[in-house]
Amino acid sequence: MAQWREAVREESFSRTTTFRHRRKSIAIFRLEDGLFAIDNVCSHEYSELSEGMVVGGDVYCPKHGSRFDIRTGAVKDYPATRPVKTYEVKVEDGVVYVKV
């Protein structure tokens, strides 16, 4: 059963940060309409999405250029063909929590 886990203080990042829970790496993105969390690893080949370029609501994998929707995890461009997992995010008292 998923539980809310403290990830990071909201003021500690401006655009992107990562959160590790057990062996999972999760990327947290700040977009103009809120905070969103997705698996940090590209579904095509190992590469950290938190290091990719963010354009609008999409992140580009820095290794091969696959594009993912940050809000939904959907693949928007090849070579990736599988979406990445998304996670619920909430902020309470300046602390960002991710449901994992």
- Please name the fold of domain 4-99: Rieske Iron-sulfur Protein (2.102.10)
For residue 15, name the pLDDT band (cuts at 50, 70, 90): very high
The answer to whether the beta carbons of residues 38 and 27 sit under 8 Å apart is yes
Q: Which amino acid, one-letter code, is at 75?
A: V
What is the C-alpha to C-alpha distance for residues 83 and 2, in angstroms, rounded to an integer? 20
Q: Where are the domains of the chain?
A: 4-99
Task: Say whether 4 sits in a helix, a strand or coil.
Answer: strand
Per-residue model confidence as pLDDT tens digits over 20-72:
999 999 999 999 999 999 999 999 988 999 999 999 999 999 999 999 999 99
Task: Say whether 71 sits in a helix, a strand or coil.
Answer: coil
Element (H, E) at 77: strand 75-77
β-pairing, 75-77 with 67-69?
antiparallel
